Copies of this chain bind each other. A is one copy, B any other.
Amino acid sequence: MSSVDKQLENLQAEIEAELPSEISVSDVKYEGPELVVYTRHPKQFARNGDLIRKLASKLRKRITVRPDPEVLTPPREAEAQVLDVIPEEAGVTSLDFHEDTGEIVIEAEKPGMVIGRHGSTLRKITQEVGWTPEVVRTPPIESATVSNVRNFLKQEREDRRSILERVGRQIHRQELSNDEWVRITTLGCCREVGRAAFIVSTPETRILVDCGDKPGAEGEVPYLQVPEALGAGANTIDAVVLTHAHLDHSALIPLLFKYGYDGPIYCTEPTRDLMGLLTLDYLDVASKEGRTPPYESEMVREAIKHCIPLEYGDVTDIAPDVKLTMHNAGHILGSAVSHFHIGDGLYNVAFSGDIHYDDTRLFNGAVNEFPRVETLVMESTYGGRNDYQTDQEDSERKLLDIIRETHDQGGKVVIPAFAVGRSQEIMLVLEEAMRKGDITEMPVHLDGMIWEATAIHTTYPEYLRDDLRDRIFHEDANPFLAEQFNHIDGGEEERQDVADGDPCIVLSTSGMVTGGPIMSWLRHFGPDPDNRMVFVGYQAQGTLGRRIQNGWDEIPVNDRNDRGRSSTLTLKMGVETVDGFSGHADRQGLENFVRTMNPRPEKVLCVHGDESSVQDFSSALYHEFNMRTFAPKNLETFRFK
């Protein structure tokens, strides 16, 4: 009998000893990090409200109870009973019965009402029908991504369950080594921005943290081929942890599956969905630009199938000697500071991922409280000695001034913006300004992936800033649903109409004017000196955005009416830049993150920044806080214990 089977046998005995005699346990199994308890008495289980919580705390495991199929009320009959229990205002949009696991997936507009106070409604459902309910939110704005991901996971349920069982046995395998050490190997994003990738290793376990590309440098990928990474095969890695969905952290995660990886990806649910959206777009852009994509879209689906979603604050076993906890990072939807507790008290490492330290309109500031942490791996994008940004309040005032002026002279405003994060931040600024009368109400057109990304944001209000979340939950005042927002889904014809119409605002991708619908808006709005283009995000060297920012006004364009022959467009519209909307902490924010961190780490590895930013920041932390700081190179290994 394997050690895992022995472990499960012991757990079953422990559980049986805890349960009242009328509740039997027919089996216990691991599925990923969870312990699944099968019972012929799900209703009795549900009746003893606290039972699962007590078991979980006694066994120090996440526990799911599943009914034996034969004790379930048949779906047709159960459906009516379930709908009877749930208050009508919950807005149930679908019920899905999965006989294999005895679960019902309930999609509802207001999941809170399906859950009930402390889960009371859920328990009542189980008491009535035996089935285990699982609730997901009906996206308030229809999202193709969310619905594709959900449908795909539904269709792959069986496969997914076998993956989870395999992963579960891996996580709970017996530890083999008596050695104790903790190491971090850098595979990318050291003394550079882009291609984030690290290996955390112990004698038992190797974990890959992030696996991104390097924007503007297609060939430069993380050093995955070295022995301490995937050199001995992709399946020598135990787990992948993804801090957030931006491509410089996620783009090459699907590639791992092409290389034969078959293990779990731990990330938040919004990160999973956004990774799906962004990596598929990444493939699309690559093939449009005539490059061979590094993997096929099938690999994106594999990645999604292998995601194990975590919520902020959940302490999760991801290996025999590693527990992972994700915390809000304030950077984009679902972004996570990832905390590794290693070896039952041996060592703690936190990866900041990308962070924003202060609250923004969209997100609460990054979490920096941990039970323990000895080493921090810290982003340093704006770590340079002069990387201080304008206050967001000032930035907003400036943006609104520009919009007001443009409107007053009868012009239109176009804002190139990244689909995920910055666009939603600007939407919130505009919605409030119009609601309060600071600027005239006018249409705000959303073009490119912005609408879709916004839809994903509204699906996961739990991940947004608390007052924003409360507005969406309690006041039914979802600002993203404000009527001035219009999704451009009619293509060129609709754009022409907008161009011919009254003053308005357009938010469009790509954020650095490197392609996408923004090129069309350039043609429509560019020739009119009454219009304005406003940059609100970083424009990298070599992009058209940077050149326009620098005053270029003769832009080569493909004239669609002339069979792709390129001509020149003369820009006459005004060009403005408004700083202060970055998703990254500035130098002050980075320092504050470390200054107020509790506890203060002993060591900091400064990564994810240009060489000079990283050196500046590393030296500043050393001098200010007297901690050991490092500015690693790629391909180095640091031992901590």
A residues engaging B (CB < 8 A)?
181, 183, 185, 201, 206, 226-228, 231-233, 236, 633-639
Q: Quick one: given A227-B227, A232-B231, are A635 and B637 in contact (CB under 8 Å)?
A: yes
The 23 listed contacts between A and B (C-beta, < 8 Å) are: A181-B635, A183-B636, A185-B637, A201-B226, A206-B227, A226-B228, A227-B227, A227-B228, A227-B231, A227-B232, A227-B236, A228-B228, A228-B637, A231-B232, A231-B236, A232-B232, A232-B233, A232-B236, A633-B639, A634-B639, A635-B639, A636-B639, A637-B637
Q: How many copies does the complex hold?
A: 2
Find chain B residues with CB under 8 A from A633 CB. 639
Find chain B residues with CB under 8 A from A185 CB. 637
Nearest residue (CB) in B for A638 is B636
Find chain B residues with CB under 8 A from A637 CB. 185, 228, 635-637
* Smallest beta-carbon distance A544→chain B, Å: 30
Closest 3 CB pairs of A and B: A232-B232, A637-B637, A227-B227
Instruction: Say whether chain A's binding surface is mostly helix, strand, loop, or mixed.
Output: mixed
* Smallest beta-carbon distance A173→chain B, Å: 17
Q: Of B183, B236, B634, B636, which is within 8 A of A635 by CB?
A: B183
Bound Cα distance from A228 to B639, whole angstroms: 14
Bound Cα distance from A231 to B236, whole angstroms: 10
Bound Cα distance from A181 to B633, whole angstroms: 11
Known: A206-B227, A227-B232, A636-B639. 18 other contacts (CB 8 A): A181-B635, A185-B637, A227-B227, A227-B228, A227-B231, A227-B236, A228-B228, A228-B637, A231-B236, A232-B233, A232-B236, A633-B639, A634-B639, A635-B637, A636-B636, A636-B637, A636-B638, A637-B637
Find chain B residues with CB under 8 A from A226 CB. 201, 228
Find chain B residues with CB under 8 A from A636 CB. 183, 636-639
Nearest residue (CB) in B for A182 is B635
Find chain B residues with CB under 8 A from A638 CB. 636
Bound Cα distance from A376 to B634, whole angstroms: 21
Bound Cα distance from A226 to B636, whole angstroms: 15
Bound Cα distance from A201 to B637, whole angstroms: 13
Find chain B residues with CB under 8 A from A233 CB. 232
Bound Cα distance from A183 to B187, whole angstroms: 13
Find chain B residues with CB under 8 A from A228 CB. 226-228, 637
Bound Cα distance from A458 to B602, whole angstroms: 56
Bound Cα distance from A226 to B182, whole angstroms: 12
